[in-house]
Every structure is written in structure tokens, then in C-alpha cells.
Amino acid sequence: MTDRLETKFIHSAGVDPQTGAVNVPIYQSSTFHQNSIDEFGPFDYSRSGNPTRQALEETIAKLENGTRGFAFSSGMAAISSAFMLLSAGDHVIVSEDVYGGTYRFITEVLTKFGVDHSFVNMTDLDKLAKAIQPNTKVVYLETPSNPVMNITDIETAAKLAKANGCLTFVDNTFMTPLYQNPLDLGADLVLHSATKFLSGHSDITAGLAVTKDAELGDRLGFIQNSFGSVLGAQDSYSLIQGIKTLGARLKQSSESAQKIAEFLHGHPEVEEVFYPGFSFHPGNPIHQRQASGDGAVLSFRLPDKNAARIFKDALRIPVFAVSLGAVETILSYPATMSHAAMPKEEREKRGITDGLFRFSVGLEHDEDLIDDLKQALEKVRVKSQLSIAN
């Protein structure tokens, strides 16, 4: 009998075998005493392995149906370490609307080590097929993408990659293992910024990686130990605690997000709403096939920067910040936050205009959030009419 994910979230880390403690102990130790000069115990040094981190790594491996899990000090540490599987002369193909930090790593760090890249619009997999070169080694996807929620068909992309001798990496931060399991769809490696939904309380930065194949797992384990950007014991403990409540949190937030997306869609001050749960979202049929939920993040467009400023100043409940996936609702402004480094023209090509907001729905009462949005949009309406009258 296999348990459902909600049950696995609670029990995957297990109880402490020594004491029966229901929470994994925090093994705050960098080194471990050895009994003999030629026989070492299971742990020797915490960069190579720590019992608290190991409980977390085994947990995420189970949740993603993989063979090996790895915990890193941030999502970017996990992603960068995964790219270190490559060698000079290799080429990678990446979703064109990839997370900003991943974009920066690929364009400004990987290039220094002789790893080349192409950015491709992965909503059209013919474009992916055309971009594959003899030295392409990795196809890197993010679905839904950020912030305009483009959907990529993971299974078809992974098949295409495999047929051409490439590995498929998927950043699964937005869906989490609750709603999407890329390894089951043919991907080789799944990545998470566990800073977001998995920890869920805006309290730690953490990254996770899971491999399907044991040999790839050994290679990533070697890199994790060599590069050393591991997650500490305290943060590993926090993340295990966060994962326990992921099922309840994400379901509640996603339910509210659907209601909020519908409210915004019907509002005259809002030009456009991006949410994969809308039946008219172009990626919806593929998303429904490969994911079991629509998530708690949506984006919407107001007419311009002036409207955006009035709206932000009027909003009472959400925190205005980068990041997402927390108990508190987080409003972000991609133009000056996540995509500030991108030239305006490139930004606008990707739909990131000066009126675009990202909204990560937390656990507040959905009607309080809708009331707050309503009053802020009313201020936008009144003030923009005033400015027209002037």
C-alpha cells in the first residue's frame, strides 16, 4: 500500500530511532567521533553528511519518487550545483522565461566555464526540437513559469530530450510535489527553491534536488560535497517542519487563489489575469494533464505604473516583497523586483509591463483579501479618473 502525499508529508522523515522523538533531532555538529583508524561510522563531517539533513534529503526523495535527494543552502545553490554536472563545451537549452537568478547564473557564470546556452519558448516544443545541437546535454524547464504562467509539456519535452541524449531538469518550485511530479513524467532531475512553499513561512532560504537515476544521484552527491553549499542542521529541521504542513497550506492557498483570480478577472480596472487554473489559459489542457492542482500564485496587469503605485499604496493586508509561497500573502512587482536587471524592452517582450503584479496567496481569509483588493482597485479607479479630469 502506498500512502498519499499528504500522509507522506507528515511521516516521511520518521521518528528518531534512538529516542522515539517525533521530531527529527537537530544534530548541531560539524564532525563525528570515529571508533577506529580504519573503520568510520555513517557520518564523518557535516558537509559530506549530517543526520538532520539526511532525514530531509530522504524525505524529498520519497515525495518526488526519486532515488536520491539533496539539500542546499538556497534554491540557487541547488540549481547551480545541478549545472555543475556539465563540462566545458556542453550546451544547455533553457525556458526563455526562466527564474531571474537562474538566467543570471546561466548567462554570467556558466559561460565563463565554457558552457553555452539557448533560450527557447517552451510552450512550442517544435522550437525546442530545432534548438537541440550535437553538444546539447540538458533541457531545463520551469512550468508554470514566472510571472506570466506559461505551461510546458514536461512529458513531451523529456521524451524529445531523451531521444537526443539530453537530461531534463525541471524547476518544480511553483507546483511542489503535492501537485506535480516531474520524475514520473520522464524528467531526470527535479529542483526546488524550498525557500517558497516547502518551508512556507518566509523564514529560511533552502534548495532541494532529487534525481531519478542512482548514477546521476552519485554524481550530484559528489558535486554537493565538493562545492559544499549544503543546508545547515537548523534549517534542515525547519524545512522538515514546513513540509509537514505543505498539504494543508497549499490546498487552502490554491483554493483562495482560484477565487481571487476569478474576482480579478471580472474587475474593470484589471486588464489581464494569468492563472493556470483558468479554462481559457492557453496552457490549461497540458497543465491539467500533468498537474493535480493550479497553485497559489497568479499575476495580473493594471494599465500602467501610476495605477500600480496607487494600488500598492492602498493595499492593506499583503506584504510587498520579493518571494512567494508563504503563509502571508505576498505582492511583488516584477518590473523593479525579480526582473529589474532585464532591459525594459526584453521585459515587455515577456509580458512584464509596468502594470504587472505577482500575487502569492497566503492563508488569510479569502474574503478579507478580496475586500482589500476591491478597495485598492476602487482607489485606482477614482484617482485615475481624477488625473483624466485634470
Q: Catalytic residue numbers?
A: 47, 99, 171, 196
293 within 8 A of 144, measured Cβ to Cβ: no
Q: Sheet of 167-171: strands edge to edge? A: 68-72, 207-211, 189-193, 167-171, 136-142, 91-95, 116-120
Piece of the chain touching ligand PLP by CB under 6 A; list 74-82, 117-125, 156-164, 258-266: 74-82
Q: What does the per-residue mask of binding to ligand PLP show for 233-262, with x meaning CB under 6 A? A: ------------------------------
Piece of the chain touching ligand PLP by CB under 6 A; list 51-59, 68-76, 147-155, 364-372: 68-76
Q: All 3 cell numbers of residue 202?
A: 518566509
- In our burial notation (b when 16+ CB lie closer than 10 A, e otherwise), range 262-301 reads ebbeebebbeebbbbbbeebebbebbeebbebbbbbbbbb
Binding to ligand PLP in span 304-343, by CB under 6 A: none
Q: All 3 cell numbers of residue 284?
A: 490549461
State how beta strands 356-360 and 116-120 pair: unpaired
In the chain the first and final C-alpha atoms are separated, in Å, by 69
Cα(80)–Cα(78) distance, rounded to whole angstroms? 6
Nearer to ligand PLP, 78 or 270 (CB): 78
Nearer to ligand PLP, 86 or 326 (CB): 326
Cα(292)–Cα(353) distance, rounded to whole angstroms? 30
Binding to ligand PLP in span 173-192, by CB under 6 A: 173
Q: Which residue in 50, 205, 332, 360 binds ligand PLP (CB under 6 A)?
A: 205
Shortest Cβ distance from residue 75 to ligand PLP (Å)? 2
Shortest Cβ distance from residue 172 to ligand PLP (Å)? 9
Binding to ligand PLP in span 133-172, by CB under 6 A: 142, 146, 171
Residues that bind ligand PLP (CB under 6 A): 74-76, 99, 101, 142, 146, 171, 173, 193, 195-196, 205, 207
